[in-house]
Amino acid sequence: MAPPLAVEAALPRHLSDGVSVWSGARLADLRSSSPEDYEALREAVDALGAASGVAQELKGPLTTAAKLVEAPGQRLYLLHERGSVAGLVKVGEKHLYYWRRGGGTVELDPVCVLDFYVSAQRAGRGRALFDAMARAERRDAKSLAYDRPSPKMLPFLKRHFGLADYVEQPNNFVIYDSFFGKDGAPPRAVGRAAPGVGRVVGTL
Ligand SMILES: CC(C)(COP(=O)(O)OP(=O)(O)OC[C@H]1O[C@@H](n2cnc3c(N)ncnc32)[C@H](O)[C@@H]1OP(=O)(O)O)[C@@H](O)C(=O)NCCC(=O)NCCS
């Protein structure tokens, strides 16, 4: 497996340490209002997205600034550390068929973790970024779905949140058994905070 890449990229001037959240619309606004800041952020997002693709042995990046602009419903959370972007986690709703243990399918629209990467690993940064995202999304780890979780993601979810049991799905999404309530119902839909440019949603 390829080693993780070190990513150091300049940040827009107004972003302080912590976690910021971006939508495609907010990135497009930044591109119009402050092209220099947009360019710095685009470079950082594209470099981290590429590094994530390499770390997960994918054919290409799941996350670029351009892809985010084309996917209006998705939210991108960035971890900022000492003037660099040190990690990303991207989430969005997906309409999924879920095959139940014991048979039968149900249609779900969970918030899914679509990409997740930190440049310096196993030092708590992933947990800090994940927690900030989960707070902003108003969901806990068991109430999210995971798109093709990597061999590092599965132990991450077990280690931090005790998540282990799930039914393998043909679409490669993982939804843990504890996603469903005792009555077998999916979690109730809840609102989430609207993304803002560079709004810090968590601190380290
Ligand atoms: C998955 C990832 C975001 C987690 O962030 P992190 O900062 O490394 O995680 P934390 O330090 O908060 O938590 C550490 C735990 O994550 C898991 N983990 C992290 N790296 C791991 C590795 N190389 N092998 C196995 N488990 C790993 C372990 O459970 C670890 O706990 P441990 O050290 O006690 O065994 C990060 O490892 C990463 O960017 N990996 C490469 C890209 C990737 O696989 N992304 C997931 C896409 S679904």
Q: Report the alpha-carbon distance of residue 180 to residue 15 in Å, rounded.
A: 38
Candidate from 127, 152, 161, 172 with most ligand 1 atoms within 8 A of CB, to mutate:
152
**For 32-51, how does the pLDDT look when each residue is reduced to its tens digit (9 = 90+)?**
998 998 999 999 999 999 99
* C-alpha distance from residue 55 to each of 62, 119, 133 (Å): 12, 10, 21
Q: What is the DSSP letter of 23?
A: -
User: Do residues 137 and 165 make contact, with C-beta atoms less than 8 angstroms apart?
Assistant: no
pTM: 0.91
Q: Which residue has the tokens 């708590």?
A: 124
Q: For tokens 């602009």, what's the residue?
A: 69
Q: Which of 77, 113, 121 to mutate to test the pocket of ligand 1 (most atoms within 8 A of CB)?
A: 121
Cβ of 123 closer than 6 Å to ligand 1, yes or no, is yes
pLDDT of 8 reads: 41
119 CA: nearest ligand 1 atom: 39
First to last CA, the chain: 29
CB 96 within 8 A of CB 108: yes
Residue 5: pLDDT above 60?
no
Shortest-distance atom of ligand 1 to CA 52 = 42
Ligand 1 mutation pick, 150, 156, 157, max ligand atoms within 8 A of CB? 156
Phi, psi of 90 (to 5 degrees): -115, 135
Beta-bridge partner residues of 92:
112
Q: Residue 71 above 60 pLDDT?
A: yes
The confidence score (pLDDT) of residue 174 equals 98
Number of H helices, E strands in the chain: 5, 9
The tens digit of pLDDT for each residue in 119-174 reads 999 999 999 999 999 999 999 999 999 999 999 999 999 999 999 999 999 999 99
Task: For each of the domains in the chain, give its residue range(s) and CATH number, in order of start.
Answer: 18-188 (3.40.630.30)
Q: CA 147 to CA 167: how far, in whole Å?
A: 14
Asked if residues 55 and 126 have their Cβ atoms less than 8 Å apart, the reply is no
Atom of ligand 1 nearest to the CA of 127: 12
Average pLDDT over residues 101-127: 94
pLDDT over 90 at 201, yes or no = no
